[in-house]
């Protein structure tokens, strides 16, 4: 089982619709470590790691979001190097 790590920024109608809680549920379900937070500009940032298949499944979840979200774009950033929280956590806004 190969480990993978991603850091993403999601743009669209992603705040005020339960997006971070959705990501936390998905992260826990998939056995990932990581976090999600709101950014001041209305986007959501997330970083997560785990088995490659689970990470890809989480990437797909970021592209659809919860029922009331409208994802316009998902951009990749360079992942951090430090340990990630386990279980998956919702962080305070940036």
Sorted by where each begins, the domain ranges of the chain are 3-90
User: What is the average pLDDT across 46-73?
Assistant: 97
Alpha helix ranges (H) inside the chain? 19-29, 52-64
Domain 3-90 fold: Alpha-Beta Plaits (3.30.70)
Does the active-site annotation cover 59?
no
* Catalytic option among 5, 25, 29, 38: 38
Q: Is 59 helix (H, G, I), strand (E, B) or coil?
A: helix
Neighbours of 91 (CB within 10 A): 15
Does the active-site annotation cover 91?
no
Q: What 8-state DSSP symbol labels residue 90? A: E
Q: Is 85 helix (H, G, I), strand (E, B) or coil?
A: coil
Degrees, nearest 5: CA angle 36-23-52: 95
The pLDDT score that the predictor gives to residue 94 is: 67
* Catalytic option among 5, 20, 25, 43: 20
The model's pLDDT over 60-78, given as tens digits with 9 standing for 90+, comes to 999 999 999 999 999 999 9
pTM: 0.94
Whether the per-residue pLDDT at 2 is higher than 90: the answer is: no
């Amino acid at each position: 089982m190969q480990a993978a790590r991603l850091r993403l920024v999601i743009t669209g109608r992603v705040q005020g619709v339960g997006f971070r809680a959705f990501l936390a549920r998905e992260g826990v379900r998939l056995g990932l470590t990581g976090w999600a937070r709101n950014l001041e500009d209305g986007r959501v940032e997330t970083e997560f790691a785990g088995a490659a298949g689970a990470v890809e499944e989480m990437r797909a979840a970021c592209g659809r979001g919860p029922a009331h979200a409208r994802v316009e774009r998902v951009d990749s950033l360079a992942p951090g190097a430090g340990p990630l929280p386990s279980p998956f956590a919702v962080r305070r806004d940036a």
